[in-house]
Structure 1
Amino acid sequence: MGAPLAPPVASALDESPADLDARALADAYRTGRLSPVAAAEAALARIARLDALIGAFVHVDPPTTLAMARASEARWRAGAPLSPIDGVPTSVKDLLAVAGWPLRRGSLAHEAHPPSAEDSAPVARLREAGAVFVGKTATPESGYRIVTRSRVHGVTRNPYALDRTPGGSSGGAAAALALGMGALAVGTDGAGSIRIPAAFCNVAGLKPGFGRVPAVPPSLFMPHAVTGPMARTIADVAAMAAVMARPDPRDPYAWPVPFDEAAAAGPVAGVRIALSPTLGTPGQADAATRAALARAADALEAAGAIVEEADPVWPVDPHEPFMVFWEATYAGFLDTYPPERQALMEPALQAIAARGRAIDGLAYHRAMGQRLAIASAARAFLNRYDAVLAPVMPSAAFDLEAEAPPGERPDDWRWCPYTYLFNMTGLPALAVPAGFTDDGRPVGVQIAGAAGTEERLLRLGAAIEAAIPACRRRPALVAADAEAVR
């Protein structure tokens, strides 16, 4: 992780640079009150002081980070920043390539690999926009768990409750954001991997619709898995999405429509929203989650949206085809490795792949038909409503050492049915903080919509954020760290 850094250079700001969001950082850079170098130093210092306790990062490279920050500082001094996020400290989940850095994917099978030769497409868009990379964040092996634990890095803890999980598989990204170890974070989401950690760690995360953020090189996990932005504020998610959504000519599925950041802000009056506590599944959200949904619905109604309770009706239990795709995809993915490297992978991941190899072509074809029927049902429902407000998870973060809440099987996704629906349909979904349990664990809600409605979802998320002060509550560790530095 590198040697501990000295406290960052003091700024003329009331808060530590590590605790400023991207918009505040850009304003400070523009007025000369703060340098991108000081912001990078603050993020690196926060990592150096706290990450041994949390386990959010698997790779930190201060010389590279500070070189990127110095280049950004020169651009801001010349009045020529590359974008509104130029100079903003940003982390990248270790399922994506960053040129010159290792790509471990949370797996011992990658330990001997050389550094990546080039950036993944979304990472390249961020580099082109001047983002300053502070490091790579932890993931479970190949993103297969909804907790963040691997034999590469150990376990990642929830910054709000150290005996709880931050969720997965973008758990390192969410934990880092919550603690000010960067203002922006890149996550991936194949079944909820952006939204689950965002909900557990009181940050926001957008799973874009399939094709909205370029995917190069192509992945066997497409179209279910996408790359998306995570941040502490909805406005920062929007600014990051505007950059990440810039197309790549090598992606055959990339949307030709630019992301409209201006449309991601503004009024929500008249927007029709279905409040769906079950999302048409057997899932049962607990009292704290239902209360968070009610707060979010009240916030949207107060902002002028039209909210009514309604559940979609699915032609088949979505869990059935989801498990076919989940297991078959991991079977295909593992089979891209030679047997000696597969043997280095976690037994539970190998078991998923083994089940996937047993799925025959007819069963897979049947699942494809079921997925199309589910997508059609989602489209019909979202012709009646502009968005649906639903849980992310049935409860807040569970015990750190567990794979699922008490009484639930980690290999049976029926206990958490709310997120993977939008991976199977390819639709966008946004996780928004919406409060806390009585013992201080964050609770998030999810807003999903039809294809191409990311900007609308962000407007709705901003209305919730503005009405619920708890969205801005940071972990006690942040205040303790700031006091220790003073």
Structure 2
Amino acid sequence: MSDLHELTAAQQLHSLHTKEISSRELTEHYLSRIDRLDAQLGAFVTVADAALEEAAAADERLARGERSALLGLPLGIKDLAATAGIRTTFGSVAMADFVPTEDSWTSGLLRQAGAVVLGKTNTPEFGSTCYTENDVTPRPSVTPYALDRYSSGSSGGAATAVAAGLLPVAHASDGAGSIRTPAATCHLVGFKPSRGLVSSAPATSFFVASTEGPIARTVEDAALLLDVMACPAPGDLYGWRPAGSFTAALGVRRPLRVAMWTDTGLDQDVDPQAELAARRTADLLAELGHEVREIPLPARWEEPVRRAIVDWFAYSVGAAVQAMMLSDRTHLLSSYSQQLLSMSDALSANDVVTAQAVLARYASTFLAAIDDYDVVLTPTTNGAPVPIGYYEGEEADRMLRWSCHTPWVNLAGVPAISVPSHVDGLGLPHGAHLVGRNRHDAELLALAAQLESAGLWADLRPPVWEA
């Protein structure tokens, strides 16, 4: 079949179970598309040599009647997560030859569920930017809707691959919006879970902002992947288990109270298309019986908060370099990473603790302001996908201005999802951002599924889809 990528991940799993298709057929189909199309998309860092062997093994298990959750389904794993036997570069030429001997916790869960790992999706060096460009790959990750524009980051490769039909679904991670903004640029669903639902063990800090989650074409596919990823590791400081299956709970609905704002918190105008994404979503929510109320932005990006988040990112990159890399290889880092590393070296312990305190107060202000609401609605990004080279020399300022709506959610540890809204007159995608209560991930996914069923977004495909 030449159109296997038209099937959703859920449909592919059903067809695998009924033996209408084989895992090897699916894997060969996607590998062929990667081989033909990825040079112009920049979605993958590494394609796994053993993918066809894994698919053959999955077919044998299916023939025996086994029914693991993802058995035989191809997927990609972001290149910030270790994968045993598959090169893991963390987006850095300094790690270009690193092949882990063990899986990360979440990579292991996906493999144990029977997924066939096609390869590692592209990411910026140590995931430190909201665009995906590095010195490991010759091409940045671009949105398939406009090949001269970034698909955001740091999960840009994952979003590009799913949107272009190179993968049915993808593993991703999100430290300040890195699942949600790539989903928005690629007309996809991107879900950031509550803190602790997807394990970040082993713990490296009490201050946990990043988590892993799914990028998918449909809410059902995102829930399907999340069902596998939501399993706490032993010793996880924040780990918790959901009450049941996220996929099974997609139809559970009740009227919700929704707070909304579009204010960016910065001295800039709200992009008209970002405004449209939020308002058309608000209108549909009201039609569906939910109460939507526009409220003031709870906290602005004041200078101490901006400084604190830059300090925290610098410290995070510095800690990653110190943990993973020999000091004699730091000269291989990108200029932006070296800048962050230099900033990290200049930070005192008091500076790091102060930054965490400032960010904690900032996040608490949001939680207090929305305490009477079930959901928050904002744009996902303040504008369309940006052209390649847009951030050069002004990374910190321009990244914040474009992705200003997402970081507070990571700091607060609550769940959030970006869903497609519309494609503008230039053919560029825009997303709506929904934020839920802590550990109410199932309710948020069910709300997104309701919007999907009600037609908030059209089932659009980029030009490369038919290639």
Q: TM-score, normalised by structure 2?
A: 0.93
SS where residue 395 of structure 2 aligns? Answer: coil
| CA distance 1:450–1:470, shift in 2 (3 Å) | closer
| CA distance 1:99–1:294, shift in 2 (3 Å) | same
Between 258-267 and 171-180, report the one with greater CA deviation.
258-267
Structure 2 match to 1:395? 383
| CA distance 1:316–1:442, shift in 2 (3 Å) | closer
SS where residue 51 of structure 1 aligns? Answer: helix
CA deviation map 1:119-176 (0-9, x unaligned)? 1111111111111111111111111121111110022222110111111111110000
Structure 1 position 30 matched with structure 2 position 17: yes
Residue identity matched to 1:107: S
For the Cα contact (< 8 Å) 1:280–1:313, is it kept in 2? no
C-alpha displacement at 1:263, in angstroms? 5.9
C-alpha displacement at 1:431, in angstroms? 1.1
SS where residue 371 of structure 2 aligns? Answer: helix
C-alpha displacement at 1:388, in angstroms? 0.3
Structure 1 position 69 matched with structure 2 position 52: no
SS where residue 343 of structure 1 aligns? Answer: helix
Q: How does 1:330-479 map onto structure 2 within 5 Å?
A: 330-336=317-323, 337-403=325-391, 409-412=394-397, 413-415=399-401, 416-468=403-455, 470-479=457-466
Structure 1 match to 2:104? 120
Residue identity matched to 2:341: A
> Which of 170, 173, 185 pairs up with 1:200?
185
Distance 1:259 1:341 in 2: 46
For the Cα contact (< 8 Å) 1:220–1:332, is it kept in 2? no
Distance 1:301 1:133 in 2: 41
For the Cα contact (< 8 Å) 1:382–1:449, is it kept in 2? no
Structure 1 position 167 matched with structure 2 position 152: yes
SS where residue 228 of structure 1 aligns? Answer: strand
| CA distance 1:353–1:165, shift in 2 (3 Å) | same
| CA distance 1:37–1:360, shift in 2 (3 Å) | same
RMSD across aligned positions (CA) = 2.2
C-alpha displacement at 1:470, in angstroms? 3.9
For the Cα contact (< 8 Å) 1:88–1:132, is it kept in 2? yes
C-alpha displacement at 1:183, in angstroms? 0.9
Between 49-58 and 298-307, report the one with greater CA deviation.
298-307
| CA distance 1:247–1:365, shift in 2 (3 Å) | closer
CA deviation map 1:189-240 (0-9, x unaligned)? 1111111111101111111122110124444696111111111111111111
Distance 1:335 1:246 in 2: 28
Structure 2 match to 1:134? 118
For the Cα contact (< 8 Å) 1:316–1:374, is it kept in 2? no
C-alpha displacement at 1:353, in angstroms? 1.9
Distance 2:306 2:436 in 1: 20
SS where residue 150 of structure 1 aligns? Answer: coil
Distance 1:271 1:263 in 2: 20
For the Cα contact (< 8 Å) 1:322–1:420, is it kept in 2? no
> Which of 218, 224, 227 pairs up with 2:209?
224
Structure 2 match to 1:86? 71
For the Cα contact (< 8 Å) 1:146–1:168, is it kept in 2? yes
Distance 2:301 2:385 in 1: 29
Structure 2 match to 1:5? none
For the Cα contact (< 8 Å) 1:138–1:173, is it kept in 2? yes
Structure 1 position 96 matched with structure 2 position 81: yes
Q: Runs (4+) of structure 1 moved beyond 6 Å?
A: none
C-alpha displacement at 1:379, in angstroms? 2.5
For the Cα contact (< 8 Å) 2:188–2:217, is it kept in 1? yes
| CA distance 1:316–1:281, shift in 2 (3 Å) | closer
> Which of 307, 310, 321 pairs up with 1:323?
310
SS where residue 417 of structure 2 aligns? Answer: strand
| CA distance 1:203–1:125, shift in 2 (3 Å) | same
Structure 1 position 177 matched with structure 2 position 162: yes
Between 146-155 and 329-338, report the one with greater CA deviation.
329-338
For the Cα contact (< 8 Å) 1:29–1:35, is it kept in 2? yes
Distance 2:161 2:38 in 1: 8
Structure 2 match to 1:151? 135
Aligned residue pair count: 461
Q: TM-score, normalised by structure 1?
A: 0.89
Distance 1:222 1:65 in 2: 36
Distance 2:76 2:300 in 1: 40
Distance 1:354 1:389 in 2: 37
Structure 1 position 19 matched with structure 2 position 6: yes
| CA distance 1:262–1:58, shift in 2 (3 Å) | closer
Percent identity over the alignment? 33
Residue identity matched to 1:73: D
SS where residue 388 of structure 1 aligns? Answer: strand
| CA distance 1:112–1:22, shift in 2 (3 Å) | closer
Structure 1 match to 2:222? 237
For the Cα contact (< 8 Å) 1:300–1:460, is it kept in 2? no
Consecutive unaligned residues of structure 2, counting only runs of 5 or more, are none
Distance 1:29 1:58 in 2: 28
C-alpha displacement at 1:380, in angstroms? 1.9
Structure 2 match to 1:3? none
| CA distance 1:124–1:310, shift in 2 (3 Å) | same
SS where residue 421 of structure 2 aligns? Answer: strand
C-alpha displacement at 1:375, in angstroms? 3.1
Distance 1:458 1:442 in 2: 21
Distance 1:145 1:329 in 2: 12
| CA distance 1:311–1:457, shift in 2 (3 Å) | farther
For the Cα contact (< 8 Å) 2:17–2:67, is it kept in 1? no
